[in-house]
Structure 1
Amino acid sequence: MKHWRPFRFPPLLQVPAAAPGPHGDDAVQLQASVADGFRQGMDAGYREGVAAGEQAGRDAGLAQGLAEGRAQGFEAARREVLAQFDGLAAPLAAAAEAMRRTCEDYQGALREDVVELVAKVARQVIRCELTLKPAQILDLVEETLAALPPVSGEVEVLLNAEECARIRELAPERAARWRLVPDAKLAAGECRVRTAESEADAGCQQRLEACLDKVREQMGAAAPLTAPGGTAGTGAVAEV
């Protein structure tokens, strides 16, 4: 900001009062000239001050306008860049979300394939065990009866017809403990226990399904699987 210094006008010329005479007009004229000079000095100082003030105001306004213009331009540019970035990022975000869903679907399908493989192996093992030792299904009957309330009266055990005949042939003593009833609707490895108070499923399938649910639960909490041949996928199958 420009600094101002006060303007000091020269003192008025003190003219002694002239006596009336031929030189009196000169004194009056001199006094008038001094007054005119004073007024001219006042006017010149006023005009100079006004001009200087206007220039200072213009300079200050220009500086403030430039600063505000820069700030507004920066903000407008920032908003425009952000808008362009959002426009470019939206397709990338959609692609990333689609990729994430694809990976989740792939992982889910891979886990289900592993569970299905475990189920197939388990069914083969159960089938072989029951073929070699069909009386093992009676162990399931005993476990089921132990979980039921105290039984009074006769206990019926509904079995697959072929397994029922083989159990009577290979383990007649154990078969005599209950009334074995062949049921053509039951698949191999399935049986139902029926008492006067209740009826329960003692077969292998529902037990296998419970085990597979546990496998699914554990695999869902485990690390992501990889495609067949990958180290992570192989480790997951081996662990199951």
Structure 2
Amino acid sequence: MFKPFSPENLKTEASDFAETKVVSGEKWHRWDLDELRNARKNTLPINEEQKQGFIRDAELNALREKARQEAWEQGHKEGSDSGYQAGYEQGLKTAKSEVEAEKQATIDEAVVPVRELAQAFSAALNDIDKNIADELVELALAVGTQLARDSLNENPETVLKIVRELMHSEPTFTNKPRLFVNPEDFTLIEEHLHDELQAAGWKLVSDERLTRGGCRLVSQNGERDATWEARWEQVRAQIRQRDEGKDA
């Protein structure tokens, strides 16, 4: 703070100045430029050992940094190579799997129609076998039919045996039963079985609609079809049943 000048203040400041001492405790002397130069010479120079130490430290730091950088680059390269190799192997494995799956799908796609064709062919063969068997049966029946007809023509008296079997197997046919036969068989039956028919009460009737070798018995009690066609159909049915039993 500014104070106004006064003689008292001047005396006080002079007294304080007289009591001031040198803080360092040394006697004051005049400043010398040479002393400053000598002090600078004593503090600035660095000895050779310190210099070499600095160089070694710098070189060691450089070597450490270089080693660290090389180690990082080597690790990065090995990691990249390892990752590339693993990725390559995984990609190759995936590609192989996809190729195999595509190949299998192509094979399946090509095999399915062939399998279906083979199944259809097998079914067709079975049908052919069955058809052939049926045709063979029909052929055998046709041959048998012709042989039976030939036998009837050569042995017309076969109808006599048929009539006798009817008379013994159907005794319940009463109430004026009538026996219908072919006109050619009528004369033969009348000649050989006249008495037996009268005794049984059967009436012999000529019917040109019937095939020779067969007959038909009709009464109020019922009817018995012993025509040649009916008897031959029974034979055919029995043959077919045996043939179907073998297939099962």
The answer to whether the 8 A contact 1:160-1:187 is kept is yes
Which shifted more, 90-99 or 164-173?
90-99
State the superposition RMSD in angstroms: 4.1
Aligned-residue offset at 1:179? 2.7
Matches within 5 A, 1:57-206: 57-86=79-108, 89=111, 93=115, 96=118, 100=122, 103-104=125-126, 106-127=128-149, 128-129=151-152, 131-139=156-164, 141-142=166-167, 145=170, 151=173, 153-176=175-198, 177=200, 178-206=202-230
Gaps of 5+ in 2: 1-41
Find the counterpart in structure 2 of residue 209 from structure 1: 233
* Amino acid paired to 1:183: D
Q: 1:55 aligns with which of 77, 81, 85?
A: 77
SS state at 2:89 partner? helix
Q: CA 1:125 to 1:74, structure 2 compared with 1: closer, same or farther past 3 Å? A: same
SS state at 2:170 partner? helix
Paired residue total: 200
Could you tell me how far apart the structure 2 residues matched to 1:210 and 1:66 are? 82
The answer to whether the 8 A contact 2:178-2:217 is kept is yes
Could you tell me how far apart the structure 1 residues matched to 2:96 and 2:168 are? 79
TM-score w.r.t. length of structure 1: 0.58
Q: CA 1:213 to 1:123, structure 2 compared with 1: closer, same or farther past 3 Å? A: same
Aligned-residue offset at 1:174? 3.5
Could you tell me how far apart the structure 2 residues matched to 1:77 and 1:144 are? 82
Aligned-residue offset at 1:188? 2.6
* Amino acid paired to 1:204: W
Q: CA 1:179 to 1:39, structure 2 compared with 1: closer, same or farther past 3 Å? A: farther
Aligned-residue offset at 1:142? 4.7
Please list the CA deviations of residues 12-61 of structure 1 after superposition, one character each: whole Å capped at 9, or x if unmatched: xxxxxxxxx73897799888778766765664454334323322322222
The answer to whether the 8 A contact 1:191-1:203 is kept is yes
Matches within 5 A, 1:6-45: 22=43, 40=62, 43-45=65-67
More helix by percentage: 2
Identity among equivalent positions (%) equals 19
Which shifted more, 137-146 or 62-71?
137-146
Aligned-residue offset at 1:91? 6.8
Q: CA 1:47 to 1:209, structure 2 compared with 1: closer, same or farther past 3 Å? A: farther
The answer to whether the 8 A contact 1:144-1:202 is kept is no
Name the larger-Rg structure. 2
SS state at 2:142 partner? helix
* Amino acid paired to 1:137: I
Q: Per chain length, whose mean CA-contact separation is higher, i.e. which structure has more relative contact order (CA < 8 Å, sep 6+)? A: 1
Could you tell me how far apart the structure 1 residues matched to 2:67 and 2:205 are? 130
Aligned-residue offset at 1:167? 1.4
The answer to whether the 8 A contact 1:157-1:193 is kept is yes
